[in-house]
Each structure stands twice: as C-alpha cells, then as structure tokens.
Structure 1
Amino acid sequence: MTETAPDYQFAHHTLDRFVYGDLRQAAVINVGRYFNTDLYPGARFERLDGGGDRPEVAHQFTASDIMAVRCLGTDVKPVAAIAILEMHGNRLSALLRRIPHTPLHDAPKSEIDGSSAAGTLASMLISDDFPHLGRMTATKLMARKRPHLLPTYDIVVARVLGKPRDITHCLHGWFHADPERAKTLAAMRDEIGGISDISLLRILDSAIWMHGMESTVH
C-alpha cells in the first residue's frame, strides 16, 4: 500500500468521486459522449494514425504525435517540432527505448521518478533545446508514446484536482493505495462501451476534463 502524500489528498478524494462517488454517473455519460461522438477532436489523441505506441513508432516521435497533441487543443511551435522530429530525435529515441509500456497502476515508482528514463525525458523536453514547449505539452507528447504509463495534463484538469505538482506521481499514489481503483475504472470503461482501446489514464483524464469544462460553462 502507498500512503497518500498530504499535498495529493484533495486530488485523490476528487478522483474517487469520479470513480466511486457522486460524479461517477456523469463521468460515464461525459466520457461516452467524448469518445463515441464526433464532437471532440481530442478523442483521436490515442487513436490517430494507429497510435503513438504501436511497435514500429513506439521509440520515436513522429509528425502524427505532433498532430495528436494538436487534437487536444495544444499548439506545438514549428521550432519545437523541428527540435523534436529532427535536431534531437536520436536523443529522444534513446530515452523512449528505456521507457516501458507498463500500466501506471502496475508500475513501480522507480519507472516514473526523476532519475528514470521517463523523468529524464520530461526534463529534457522542457529544456532550452525545445523552445516554447512547456511542461503540460511535454506530458501530452509523452502520453502519446506511453498512454498506459504516463498521463496527459492541462489547466482544466489541474484546476479540478487542486493543481497537484506532479500528475504522474499523484495518479501513481492514487492507484497504488487501492488496487480496486484500477479495476473499478476498467469496469467503467466497459460500461461505457466502444472504448476498450483507450487507456485507463485517458478515460480518467477525459472524465475530469469534461467535468471541468462544464463547470466553466455553468
């Protein structure tokens, strides 16, 4: 069992509301609408061009990955795209080869900490070598390559969850504190239907994002 870090308590409580509590039924409806209609380009994030984690491209960033990030409403500046695809492509690929495809709820913390390949890649992507990229865009690029291990993050999700400082560690702690959470989230995915190919992390992210957007509208 993993203890909940004090600064993640609010986020973990809120996550439970989507999976077990008062927000669950709305989450089922919202996630179904997000993925099973043509209203949201972000629904194509994991699916675009066969997915960013398929074997033949799993260890390199491609133009399709850049486009997938744009499906989430995030622009990648040309100078950053060139750095990702060409100038530093080999360095990025070397790190991607060391990042496993293990689902976050099964992964040891050592696979996501700062000294891991994932942590090193995250730091690299927000360095000066990749101008105008930013931390949240970096999470989306990494989630495209390892959708079951690494979550996306944006300002809407951050607001709903109380702005946890590290979304990957926050979700890792939440999953590992209670293994039933992953099982219940998987059951929610089955209940929605038509999205068996979508990662649990993306199901959770879209539920939170849809709730956050509705709260903004209302």
Structure 2
Amino acid sequence: MSETSPDYQFAHHTLDRFVYGDLRQAAIVNVGRYFNTDLYTGARFERLDGGGDRADVAHQFTAADLTAVRCLGTDIKPVSAIAILETHANRLSALLRRIPHTPIYEAPKSEIDPASAAGTLASMLLSDDFPHLGRMTATKLLARKRPHLLPCYDIVVARVLGKPRDITHCLHSWFHTDPERAKSLASIRDDIGGISDISLLRVLDAAVWMHGYEDTVETVA
C-alpha cells in the first residue's frame, strides 16, 4: 500500500489537528487528565506491573498483560486467555522475540507488514486458536508488548479517525511522511509533564480517545 493512500487522508488530517491544529490544546488538557488523575483505569495500561515490554517479560504474554487489556475496558474470555498463557504460549513467544522495540516513527515499513513477525502474530491471534479475541483486542495485546511500535485501536478511535482499515499502517505513514509530527507529539508529552514513560503512540491514542469519548458523553447527555 502506498504511503499516500487516500484511505488514510481523513485520518492523517484529523491527527494533524491534535498535534498542530485546533485540537492541540484540548489534547494537552485531556491527556494530562487521562494519565495524571485516577479517573481512567486505562492510564495503567502501559505501567501495570512494570510494563509489558520490560526485559524479563518482553517475549512472553503474562497474566498482567491480560489484566492491562482489561484496564482498557476489554475482557478476554477464559478460553482465549488459556490459549495465550498456556496452550500456544511458546508459538507466541517465538514471534515476540522477532518483533523489535523500535518506535514506529523510526521503524521501516517491513517491520509492520503482514509478512513481518508483528503481522504474523496479529494474524495468529485472530485465528481459531484464540476464540472470540477480535481485531481490536489483538491490537491491545500487541501494544502492551511493543508500546512504541504497535498502536492500540478501539471503536472510539476508529470513529474519530474515519475507520482506517489498518491502524498500524495508517499511523506509520502519518509519522513517516512528516518527521515533525513525532517531534510535535513529543512536545505535547513534555508540556503535560509526568508521563515521560508513556510512548508517543499511547499519548496520541489517549488524545484521540478522550476527544471521541467526550463527544460521546456530550451527545448522550
């Protein structure tokens, strides 16, 4: 897929509003509220139990990873939890060992393509070996293990961004077509303070999610 695919034009324009445009200040306020208060359990997703990418657990899924996904409001059914933690643990770990920790804005596209270890692992998690898991839950599991390379995705973010068909490729092309985007996003993280341990991908995810969530709350109200 071309880096300038029209499928992603709306998403890229919307993301630019958060880092350059009219939604930047709201993003600073909202992301700060998300991570620096006790209002959102999702704030613990990367940090729970020291993080899913720390050296001693980076190449295996753990019970803490499944709990971290629950912090984002997503439950993993017991049959899939057993498959992840026990039945297919060795197969999953073998692929995790091949996935780098490179930030998405530095990684070549080959690291996220379908034939890559990340792409293969994503496909595996969507197979019949992991019943009822679902694409968005799979992205959260992968984001827990490689938070700098692989993004979370859920229905709120999908709605705000116009439902890009592949969120990882969408964000990879967004970062790589303008290196200043990563720098601007990093400056948002610096302006917020207290979240230097949070990946830029997760900062962006929280900004988009909070915007979409607040709109949903206001609409319902």
Which TM class, normalised by the smaller chain length? over 0.9
Moved over 2 A (4+): none
**Letter paired with 1:36:** N
Q: TM-score, normalised by structure 1?
A: 0.99
- 2:148 aligns with 148
**Letter paired with 1:71:** C
- 1:134 aligns with 134
**Letter paired with 1:104:** I
Q: 1:4 deviation in Å?
A: 2.0
**Letter paired with 2:111:** E
Q: Write out aligned runs for 1:149-168 (5 A).
A: 149-168=149-168
* Aligned-residue RMSD, C-alpha: 0.7
**For each residue in 1:123-144, what CA deviation from the matched residue of structure 2 results, as whole angstroms up to 9, or x when unmatched?**
0001000001000000000000
**Identity value in percent:** 84
Q: Which runs of 5+ in 1 are unaligned?
A: none
How far apart are the structure 2 equivalents of 1:201 and 1:193? 16
- 1:7 aligns with 7
The 3-state SS of whatever aligns with 1:124 is: helix
1:201 corresponds to 2:169: no
**For each residue in 1:8-32, what CA deviation from the matched residue of structure 2 results, as whole angstroms up to 9, or x when unmatched?**
0000000000000000000000000
Q: 1:217 deviation in Å?
A: 1.4
The 3-state SS of whatever aligns with 2:73 is: coil
The 3-state SS of whatever aligns with 1:85 is: helix
- 2:38 aligns with 38
What is the number of equivalent residue pairs in this alignment? 217
**For each residue in 1:32-63, what CA deviation from the matched residue of structure 2 results, as whole angstroms up to 9, or x when unmatched?**
00000000000000000000000000000000
Q: Which runs of 5+ in 2 are unaligned?
A: none
**Letter paired with 1:25:** Q
- 1:24 aligns with 24
How far apart are the structure 2 equivalents of 1:27 and 1:193? 13
Q: 1:3 deviation in Å?
A: 3.9
The 3-state SS of whatever aligns with 2:174 is: helix
Q: TM-score, normalised by structure 2?
A: 0.97
